[in-house]
Structure 1
Amino acid sequence: MWQRQDADLAASLAELSQLSNGAFGLTELLTRVAGMAVAAIPGADGAGLTLLEPHHADVIVKSTEFVRQIDDIQYSIGEGPCISAAATGRTVRSGSLGGDARWPRFGPRAGRLGVHSVLSLPLLSPAGVHGAMNVYAHGKNVFDARAEELGELFAVPAAISVLNAQILSQARRLATQLQAALTSRPVIDQAIGILRSRSGDTADQAFARLTTLSQTQHLKLTQVATTIVEQAAARARVRRTDQP
């Protein structure tokens, strides 16, 4: 039996090593990692993965639908094995969620959905905890010490793949933001110039007025600036038309 388990782990690790971060979006790559965890850990019926994103919404994926239901419960009430694993940086295991005193609100609800066993593995790097991987089974006491050992062996390279994917996603996000800033800067400068010509304000004062308009109108700065420029252009066209 152990030979088969070792073979399953080896196969999952080999597949994990072949993942190309550039070939997949962040969510798709995390979903693939969750699926590999199911194959690597004996007894697993499904898995979910939560990636902590600083200054951005956490990314949560699942390998199958029942995992979504379970994870929705723990995140909605702020209690559960994944939250514990991410908070402590330690593996969390339970074979009877319905009666587990660590999660008095989450456990019974998971048990009523027919999910009784969980193995939550933190995704660790030298920089800290980046998230956690939840592996679930419907039966009771499915995950033993051996399953925990295999899970932790899988979680080490999984954390590296996840971290690399996160770094790439953040770099792509920043590049998009920078491109948007470069695209929007000319129209913002034009709007600042128009406001200065009307009021005699400095550039900083005109930009502050533009920012205030953006906040009060609940519009992006670029949208407000575009409106000011378009209105000024429309008035200029009217003046040219009215000239004899």
Structure 2
Amino acid sequence: MTAQERPDDHRTQAHRADQALEQLGRLSFAEHSSHSVLQKVADLTKDVMPGSIEASVSVVVNDKPSTAVYTGQLALDCDESQYGHGYGPCLHAARTGEVTEVPDARIEPRWADYARSAAERGSLSSLSVPLPVSQHVRVALNIYSREPHAFDEDSRSAAARFAPYAAVAIANMHQYQSAKAEASNLQVALQSRAVIDQAKGVLMERHKLTADRAFQALTQASMTKNRKLRDIAEHLVHTGEFPPAH
């Protein structure tokens, strides 16, 4: 590559990175699943980085790794090889928060068994960028190249620019999903309370019990039948049978 060509290449890569970041910034978390957001991160990474590469996103939850999304079989194979060995650049990046590069898998002294396997699969160099999400959820954006020494300063700079935006997108998605789960759990709790109150009312009317005695009767039936209190209450409200026959 000539000196005249390099600035144009740099500007092209920077322009692609800017476009990718803009796309991430426009994502609506109410309209995307966690999987679709992560897939967008991987796809945009493949678009931004030069050369023949594949990308993946590894997620480590409570020290259990899995590949959430990937752009090609090479990336998935390399990820799963690391999980099988229990070590490798993507796991190191996710667990330590360090950007981890393998310049040439054929002579990589770290993680020797994995590196040999990666080279055999066709990944001769890789770059793993940590994406901090939470204490219990650790993520790495992995870029696998079919060429050795594929990542120069411009590539590393592009990945470094891209990763924080990707981390924010993933963290926001994780928080959104957590909020939805909390809201769903609250709705279930409110529904359970409502049906239990209805069942108490039935017992109070039928047997002239106080509210406390009616609740104790429901609790006793729950323990005797080894069924959830809500199930006992729903059966009573819907059938009038108390305690349930089964």
8 Å CA contact 2:222, 2:232 repeated in 1: no
8 Å CA contact 2:54, 2:145 repeated in 1: yes
SS of aligned partner of 1:140: coil
Q: Which runs of 4+ in 1 moved over 6 A?
A: 54-59, 125-129, 235-238
What residue is the counterpart of 2:36 in the other structure?
28
8 Å CA contact 2:236, 2:242 repeated in 1: no
What residue is the counterpart of 2:98 in the other structure?
90
Closer, same or farther in 2 for the Cα pair 1:20/1:122, shift >3 Å? same
Q: Is 1:177 the equivalent of 2:185?
A: yes
Closer, same or farther in 2 for the Cα pair 1:208/1:73, shift >3 Å? farther
Closer, same or farther in 2 for the Cα pair 1:233/1:124, shift >3 Å? same
8 Å CA contact 1:122, 1:129 repeated in 2: no
User: Partner letter of residue 83 of structure 2?
Assistant: Y
Aligned-partner Cα distance in 1 for 2:181–2:100 = 33
SS of aligned partner of 2:30: helix
RMSD: 4.0
Aligned-partner Cα distance in 2 for 1:179–1:234 = 26
What residue is the counterpart of 1:2 in the other structure?
10
SS of aligned partner of 1:105: helix
The answer to which of 150-159 and 45-54 deviates more is: 45-54
SS of aligned partner of 1:21: coil
Closer, same or farther in 2 for the Cα pair 1:188/1:54, shift >3 Å? farther
What residue is the counterpart of 2:83 in the other structure?
75
User: Quick one: which of 9, 16, 35 aligns to 2:24?
Assistant: 16
Structure 1 residue 170: Cα displacement: 1.0
Aligned-partner Cα distance in 2 for 1:211–1:63 = 54
Closer, same or farther in 2 for the Cα pair 1:177/1:3, shift >3 Å? same
8 Å CA contact 2:232, 2:244 repeated in 1: no
Q: Is 1:108 the equivalent of 2:116?
A: yes
User: Partner letter of residue 153 of structure 2?
Assistant: A
User: Partner letter of residue 139 of structure 1?
Assistant: E
User: Partner letter of residue 96 of structure 2?
Assistant: T
SS of aligned partner of 1:132: strand
Identity of aligned residues (%): 25
Structure 1 residue 68: Cα displacement: 1.8
8 Å CA contact 1:187, 1:229 repeated in 2: no
Q: Is 1:118 the equivalent of 2:126?
A: yes
Aligned-partner Cα distance in 1 for 2:231–2:114 = 46
Matching of residues 174-213 of structure 1 within 5 Å: 174-186=182-194, 190=199, 203=216, 206=219, 210=223, 213=226
What residue is the counterpart of 2:6 in the other structure?
none
Closer, same or farther in 2 for the Cα pair 1:170/1:44, shift >3 Å? farther
8 Å CA contact 2:58, 2:140 repeated in 1: yes
Q: Deviations over 1:186-243 (max 9, x none)?
A: 556759x99xx9xx9x8599489749946xxxxxx4786479759x8557899xxxxx
Q: Deviations over 1:109-137 (max 9, x none)?
A: 22221112111001137989841100111
Unpaired segments of 5 or more residues in structure 2? 1-8, 204-208
8 Å CA contact 2:55, 2:143 repeated in 1: yes
Aligned-partner Cα distance in 2 for 1:77–1:45 = 23
Aligned-partner Cα distance in 1 for 2:229–2:242 = 20
SS of aligned partner of 2:130: strand
Aligned-partner Cα distance in 2 for 1:237–1:210 = 12
Closer, same or farther in 2 for the Cα pair 1:180/1:65, shift >3 Å? farther
SS of aligned partner of 1:20: coil
8 Å CA contact 1:210, 1:225 repeated in 2: no
- The aligned length equals 227
SS of aligned partner of 2:123: coil
Closer, same or farther in 2 for the Cα pair 1:112/1:126, shift >3 Å? closer
